[in-house]
């Protein structure tokens, strides 16, 4: 059908059929008609002939750029709380957002190793609609893994790279939809053994603070990205996540043909979204907790750059950007 009408159009231009052959244009307001010459017709027909070959493919998110950010972040080395690497990671984020609306949310966490200074980063990109979409990740690495050179290429760095690339797409204009806030949590990982009190320090702190000052009421959706740089991307449907938000992410993935990467299995995961779920904020944890054979790369020295891919980050970025669009339309 498409090809047929395309050829018909080319033939019409060449043969001078009345509807198309003269190719005259008139601007609104009665300016003189402008007609295309026979020579231009030949050129135009040539262009149309080439058109099916030169039409750009669907524009995709720049996963290569996200991977490059992850590479830079991993190059800092391990970034467990209280380490020099953690300070360098903070400086890196500060540098990336120096021209943006950046807030540093500092607090002291009570941990099994004593009080630990922590810092969440919040970057705000204003929109025209009243309300906020939060995209979040954590950026630090695990304190208990400080002796194995654990760099968290997937766990922390890949999603930091993803959000940095999303920031590149959002900055420099007022968004047509909701404001988008990017949040980089500190202290997601446990200091000893994962429990409600020894984990997710940054998100529990921020959710409580935003509960007290009324910010939570503005949040239309909270979307958490965790461990989704994995080359073998199989994102689970996290069962405590909000149903309609899961459906929108599924719909976004389907648009790009990424169905097999999303929600083929279900799992309940404790993560930075729960402090928001518990306070009634529509939330989703977009997580792939199946990392390496029998999950053998998770929280091991194997979590290195070669295990993550630009392709997976393209998939994530496409789906996140489309999900934002769908939430804006809601």
Q: For Zn ion, which residue of 105, 155, 186, 272 counts as binding (CB under 5 A)?
A: 155
Residue nearest to Zn ion (CB): 155
- Residue 155 CB, shortest distance to Zn ion, in Å, is 4
With respect to Zn ion, which residue has the nearer C-beta, 155 or 316? 155
- Residue 152 CB, shortest distance to Zn ion, in Å, is 7
CA dist., res. 216 & res. 221, Å (int) = 10
Look at the alpha carbons of 121, 87, 299, 75 in this order and tell me if their dihedral is positive or negative. positive
**What count of residues does the chain have?**
330
Q: Which residues pair with 105 in a beta bridge?
A: 120
CA dist., res. 18 & res. 35, Å (int) = 13
Torsion from C-alpha of 283, 287, 289, 293, nearest 10 degrees:
160
Query: How many amino acids of this chain bind Zn ion (CB under 5 A)?
Result: 1
- Cβ 224 vs Cβ 271: under 8 Å: yes
CA dist., res. 97 & res. 100, Å (int) = 5
Strand order, beta sheet including 219-226? 101-111, 114-125, 175-185, 127-138, 219-226, 283-287, 235-238, 262-267
Binding-site string for Zn ion from residue 236 to residue 275, where x marks contact by CB under 5 A and - marks none: ----------------------------------------
Instruction: Give the interface segment with Zn ion, choosing from 151-159, 177-185, 252-260, 271-279 (CB under 5 A).
Output: 151-159
With respect to Zn ion, which residue has the nearer C-beta, 181 or 291? 291
- How far the first Cα of the chain sits from its last, in Å, is 34
- Residue 301 CB, shortest distance to Zn ion, in Å, is 13
- Cβ 317 vs Cβ 166: under 8 Å: yes
Structure-block tokens of residue 167: 């920031």
- Residue 289 CB, shortest distance to Zn ion, in Å, is 9
- Residue 279 CB, shortest distance to Zn ion, in Å, is 23
With respect to Zn ion, which residue has the nearer C-beta, 112 or 211? 112
- Cβ 291 vs Cβ 297: under 8 Å: yes
Instruction: Give the interface segment with Zn ion, choosing from 155-163, 230-238, 284-292, 303-311 (CB under 5 A).
Output: 155-163
- Residue 299 CB, shortest distance to Zn ion, in Å, is 6
Helix (H, G, I), strand (E, B) or coil at 123: strand
Binding-site string for Zn ion from residue 91 to residue 130, where x marks contact by CB under 5 A and - marks none: ----------------------------------------
- Residue 200 CB, shortest distance to Zn ion, in Å, is 11
303 binds Zn ion (CB under 5 A): no
Q: To which H or E segment does residue 181 belong?
A: strand 175-185
With respect to Zn ion, which residue has the nearer C-beta, 158 or 261? 158
Residues at the interface with Zn ion (CB under 5 A): 155
């Amino acid at each position: 059908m498409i090809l047929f009408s395309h050829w018909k159009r080319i033939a019409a231009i060449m043969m001078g059929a009345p509807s198309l052959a003269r190719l005259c244009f008139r601007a609104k307001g009665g300016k003189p008609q402008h007609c295309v010459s026979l020579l231009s017709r030949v050129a135009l027909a040539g262009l149309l002939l080439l058109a099916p070959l030169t039409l750009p493919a669907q524009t995709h998110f720049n996963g290569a750029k996200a991977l490059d950010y992850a590479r830079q972040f991993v190059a800092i080395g391990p970034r467990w709380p209280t380490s020099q690497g953690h300070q360098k990671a903070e400086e890196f984020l500060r540098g990336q957002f120096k021209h943006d609306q950046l807030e540093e949310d500092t607090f002291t966490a009570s941990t099994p190793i004593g009080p630990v200074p922590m810092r969440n980063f919040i970057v705000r990109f204003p929109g025209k609609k009243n309300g906020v979409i939060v995209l979040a990740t954590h950026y630090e690495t695990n304190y208990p893994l400080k002796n194995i050179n654990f760099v968290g290429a997937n766990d922390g760095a890949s999603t930091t790279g993803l959000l940095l690339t999303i920031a590149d797409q959002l900055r420099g204009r007022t968004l047509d939809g909701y404001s988008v806030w990017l949040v980089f949590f500190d202290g997601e990982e446990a200091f000893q053994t994962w429990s409600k009190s020894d984990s997710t320090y940054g998100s529990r702190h921020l959710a409580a603070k935003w509960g007290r000052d009324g910010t939570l009421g503005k949040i239309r959706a909270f979307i958490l990205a965790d461990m989704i740089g994995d080359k073998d991307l199989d994102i689970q449907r996290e069962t405590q996540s909000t149903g309609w938000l899961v459906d929108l992410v599924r719909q976004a993935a389907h648009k790009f043909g990424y169905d097999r990467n999303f929600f083929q299995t279900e799992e309940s995961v404790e993560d930075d979204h729960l402090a928001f779920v518990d306070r009634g904020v529509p939330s989703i944890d977009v997580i792939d907790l199946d990392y390496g054979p029998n999950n053998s790369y998770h929280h091991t020295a194997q979590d290195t750059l070669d295990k993550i891919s630009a392709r997976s980050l393209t998939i994530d970025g496409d789906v996140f950007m489309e999900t934002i669009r769908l939430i804006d339309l809601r």
